[in-house]
Amino acid sequence: MESKNEIIVSDLLKIEYDFIEYYVGMAKMVVYWHVKALGFKVIAYAGPETGVEDRCSYYIVKNDIKLVITSASQPSSYKIVSFVDLHGNGIKRMAISVDNVKEFFGRAMKNGAIPIKHPHLTSDDMGFVEQASLKMFDDNEIVLINYDNYNGDFLPGYKNVEKEWDFEYKDSALEKIDHVACALRLNEITLWENYFNNIFLSKTVLEFDERQESGKKIGMLLKVLQSENKSINNVLVEPEHGVNTQVQLFIDQNYGTGIQHIAFESNNIFKSVQALRENGVKFTKYPDSYYDKLEKKHPQLDVDILRKHGVLCDVVDGALLFQIFTVPIGDRATFFYEIVQRVNDYDGFGLDNIYALFDAMEQELKLKREY
C-alpha cells in the first residue's frame, strides 16, 4: 500500500506549464501582434465555423510556449465579454499538464482547491482530452489537462489554420515559460501561497520583503513558489498599503487580482531583444546609473552589451540571470512580458534587479502622470 501511494505522489509531481489563455476584445488583432512582434506561429482555430458557437480562439505556439487567444463571437458570450469589460485584455486561464487529471484533481480537492469544472472528457475523431479546472484569484482558473489519448493539433473543436497564417517574421528565440507572476491585494499573499502549494505540492523557495515597515522603499512583498521538479514557478506579489507601485497600479487597472506578467526563457537574450525591437516591441528602460553600479560590482562582466540592449543582470557564484521587461502590451497599464536567460544553472529570480525594475517603472509612471 505504501508503494502505491509513493507511485501516485510521484505521478502528481510530473507537472509542467501547458498553455496560457487570454480573453481579449478582438482575438485576430492580438494574434497578429504576437505573430509579427513575438514570432509566434498560428497552429489552430476554434469558432462558429468549427462548431464552437460562443468564441473565436486561436492556438499559437513558439517552441514550447503555448498560448490561446480568445474573444467573444457574439454579444451573448457574456463570460468572455464581461471579463474583458472588467479587466481589459488579460489572462483567464493557466493550464498545467498532469499525468492523471482525475487523481490530481481529487488530491487538490482534499487539500482545499475550489472546483470550477470537475474532470471531464472532450472528444472528436482524433481521440479525447481529459480536463478539469480550479478557481484562482478573482476571475482566473487553473486548468488541469492531459492529451495522452489525443492526436489532434490542440483540442477538439480546433482545426489547423497554419496555411492561412503563413507570415514572415524575425525569430525571437523564445523557448519556454520560465515563470508566471501574479499581483495580489494587501494581505492576500499567504492565502494564495498556501492554496498553490497545496495544489501543486510546491514549496515557497524565496521571500522578498520590501515593505515600508522594514525601512525600505519599494513597498511590496514577493514570494516564489516552486514545484518539486522546478518546472512550475509561480511568483506572488503583494503591495504595501499607501505605496504607489506598479503592483498596485495593476490591481487598479485590472480591477482586481490576476496574472501580471509571464516570463519567457531565451537561449540568447541579446538575439531575442534585437529581433523583438526590430519587430516593434518596446521595453522598459533603465538608467545608466544601474550599469555603472553593475560594472563596479562585477568588473568581469561585459556591461557594454548589457547597456546596449537594456538588459539587467544578476550574478550569483558565477551563475548569471539576464532579464528584460516589455512595457504593458495593451492600452491598460496591466499585463507585460519578461524575457530571461539563465547561464551556468542560475536558479534564482534576480531579486537584486527588482530595485532597478521598480525604479524604472516608477519613473515611467511619473512621466505619464505629468503628461
What whole-number distance in Å separates Cα of residue 195 and Cα of residue 197? 6
- Which residue do the cell numbers 505605496 mark? 243
User: What single letter denotes the amino acid at residue 365?
Assistant: L
Rg (C-alpha) for the chain, rounded Å, is 21
Q: Is 338 annotated as a binding residue?
A: yes
Helix, strand or coil for residue 188?
Answer: coil
Extract the C-alpha cell encoding 236. 506572488
> Is 130 known to sit in a ligand binding site?
no
Strand partners, 258: 183
**Rounded Cα gap, residues 195 and 198, in angstroms:** 5
Sequence-distant (≥ 6) Cβ neighbours of residue 45 within 8 angstroms: 56, 57, 58, 59, 158, 159, 161
Report how far residue 204's alpha carbon sits from residue 261's, in angstroms, rounded to the nearest whole number: 19
What is the rounded CA–CA span in Å between residue 191 and residue 16?
23
DSSP state of 164: G
With contact defined as beta carbons under 8 Å apart, do 265 and 342 qualify?
A: yes
217 CB contacts (<8 Å, ≥6 apart)?
210
* DSSP states along 206-269: EEEEE-GGGT-SS-EEEEEEE-TTS--EEEEEEEPTT---HHHHHHHHHTS-EEEEEEEEES-H
C-alpha cell at 23: 480573453
Best CA proximity match to 275, nearest among 61, 39, 34, 32? 39
- What are the respective helix, strand and coil percentages of the chain, to the nearest 5? 35, 35, 30
E strands present in 161-202 = 174-183
179 is in an annotated binding site: yes
Which residues make up each annotated binding site for Fe cation?
179, 261, 338
Which residues make up each annotated binding site?
179, 261, 338
